[in-house]
Amino acid sequence: MNEMQNVLITLDPNRKIQLLSWKEDYLHRPDTAQGVTTWGKDTFGDIGMTWIVESIGDKIKLKSWKGDYLHRPDTAQGVTTWDTGMGNEWRIYFTF
């Protein structure tokens, strides 16, 4: 059985990351007003797939190349990007 545990991760300030899915595509911030999608692994290194990690206490924010953040809106499901709000804050959990 998997259990969630709090694990301390130390990242350099403004560390850039890319998020690879189980389908081997990357979370991508397109050049649109807002939103996210995925792009294939053949486009590795594209600016839209790079996210800057900002630490805020025990949470992080993922800043896109457009200056907005990965955002969980107040809807039943989904993610988008947005400039402000608690929906921009994420916690990292590892399952063991």
Up-side HSE of residue 24: CA atoms within 13 Å toward CB?
Answer: 2
Residue 95's pLDDT is 67
Name the phi and psi angles at 54, rounded to 5: -115, 120
Span 56-74, mean pLDDT?
93
Mean of the per-residue pLDDT values for the chain? 85
Sort residue 21 into left (φ over 0), alpha (ψ -120 to 50) or beta.
Answer: beta
pLDDT band at residue 3 using 50, 70 and 90 as cut-offs: low
67, burial (CB in 10 Å: exposed 0-12, middle 13-18, buried 19+): exposed
List the one residue out of 60, 55, 52, 58 whose CA is nearest residue 89: 60
Residue 8's pLDDT is 63
Residue 92 has pLDDT above 60, yes or no: yes
